[in-house]
Amino acid sequence: MINIFLILVLIAVVITYWQWNKIKIHFWQKKYIGLTLTKSQKKLLLKVMPIYKNMTNQDRVKLEQHILWFLDNISFLGRGDLKVNPGMRLVVAANACLLVLNKPWPIYKNVKQVLLYPSAYYAKENKKDGAGLVSFHNVVRQGESWPGGTLVLSWHDVLAGNRLPEDGHNLVFHEFAHQLDQQTGFTSGTPQLKTQKLYKQWAQVFNRAFNQLKTHLAYGIPNVIHRYGATNEAEFFAVLTETFIEKPAQLQHQDPELYQLMLDYYEFDPRQWV
């Protein structure tokens, strides 16, 4: 009798293990579907996040449910004597969740915590020269995205990214785009896609646009995508994400094929929020 009981327990444990993601998603759906932000939370976002103000009611409801999930599952830590308050957490969460507006839970599979500095900060960096010698020095940064699931953000620059919603610069969009890129296990500029056909299409369009940006910079030809995107493929995806959301009409006019690629990946059209 005891052996039968142990076997049944073992079977239950195995089933729970294999179905754990489905169980969590079912729990999240029961918990968050139908919930909305409080009046004070909505008031804050309406004040500091113009995109939130311009969204349709349907999109705003989805965003708010993602925000609530994010606030419950991602931790925040202050750095540089910054005391993180609920308003700061809300603004970061709202910007981060916009990228995954139409993605299923868990919306950020690897993200564990956000480190928030009051402004730009010093970070240690090492470089290797041609002779193989490694040098260490401090560099000023506004944000970072680590493969282990930690993001580092400057609160000053988080606010600046929302204050000018059409300048093509948003620190949270940029760093969380890196996290989407890193879900594949690599930081390559190619996020996780649904089919092999999409990977092939992504490689053709993305690489063509990346090389075009480098060519435009070399010959002084204007490009709606910021020059920092030419650093490497990973930075190109992050900068392209900022451009897609904040300068959608200009990007679509310059490169309709690239715009459609981003439209298919993010599954929302930011032109509706302008």
Q: 50: domain CATH number?
A: 3.40.390.10
Q: How many CB atoms lie within 10 A of CB 59?
A: 18
Between CA 200 and CA 208, with CA 203 as vertex, the angle to 5 degrees is 135
Q: Please tell me the distance from the alpha carbon of residue 200 to that of residue 191, in angstroms, as a whole number.
A: 13
Q: Please tell me the distance from the alpha carbon of residue 179 to that of residue 60, in angstroms, as a whole number.
A: 23
To which H or E segment does residue 254 belong? helix 248-254
Enter the tokens of residue 191. Answer: 């996020």
Q: Please tell me the distance from the alpha carbon of residue 221 to that of residue 201, in angstroms, as a whole number.
A: 26
- List pLDDT tens digits, range 39-94: 999 999 999 999 999 999 999 999 999 999 999 999 999 999 999 999 999 999 99
Residue 27 lies in a domain: no
pLDDT of residue 213: 98
Ranges of beta strands (E only) in the chain are 75-78, 113-117, 121-128, 134-141, 143-145, 150-154
Residue 72 lies in a domain: yes
Q: Please tell me the distance from the alpha carbon of residue 183 to that of residue 30, in angstroms, as a whole number.
A: 26
- List pLDDT tens digits, range 118-165: 999 988 877 766 666 667 778 999 999 999 999 999 999 999 999 988
Q: Please tell me the distance from the alpha carbon of residue 247 to that of residue 257, in angstroms, as a whole number.
A: 15
pLDDT of residue 107: 85
Residue 9 lies in a domain: no
- List pLDDT tens digits, range 263-272: 999 999 999 9
Residue 118 lies in a domain: yes
Across 247-262, average pLDDT: 98
Residue 19 lies in a domain: no
Q: Smallest Cα–Cα separation from 225: which of 246, 205, 200, 204?
A: 246
Segment among 41-50, 91-100, 102-111 with least mean pLDDT: 102-111
Q: Smallest Cα–Cα separation from 192: which of 204, 207, 209, 179?
A: 179
Asked if 127 contacts 90 with a C-beta cutoff of 8 angstroms, the reply is no
Which range marks the domain in which residue 92 is found?
35-125+135-273
249 or 184: whose pLDDT is higher?
249
pLDDT of residue 186: 87
104 or 174: whose pLDDT is higher?
174
- pLDDT averaged over every residue in the chain: 90
| Tally of domains within the chain | 1
Q: Report whether pLDDT(27) > 80.
A: no
Q: Report whether pLDDT(222) > 70.
A: yes
Q: Report whether pLDDT(10) > 70.
A: no
Enter the tokens of residue 145. Answer: 């995205």
Whole-number percent of the chain with pLDDT over 70: 86
Residue 99 lies in a domain: yes
Q: Please tell me the distance from the alpha carbon of residue 206 to that of residue 60, in angstroms, as a whole number.
A: 30
Torsion (CA) 231, 160, 251, 221 in degrees, nearest 10: -50
Residue 193 lies in a domain: yes
Handedness of CA 164, 268, 172, 33 (dihedral sign): positive
Enter the tokens of residue 28. Answer: 């999240």
Q: Please tell me the distance from the alpha carbon of residue 146 to that of residue 179, in angstroms, as a whole number.
A: 8
Q: What is the DSSP string of 30-73?
A: HHHTT----HHHHHHHHHH-HHHHHS-HHHHHHHHHHHHHHHHH
Across 209-234, average pLDDT: 98
Give SS3 for 82.
coil
Phi-psi region of 132 (alpha: psi -120 to 50; beta: other; left: phi over 0): left
Residue 207 lies in a domain: yes
Q: Report whether pLDDT(224) > 90.
A: yes
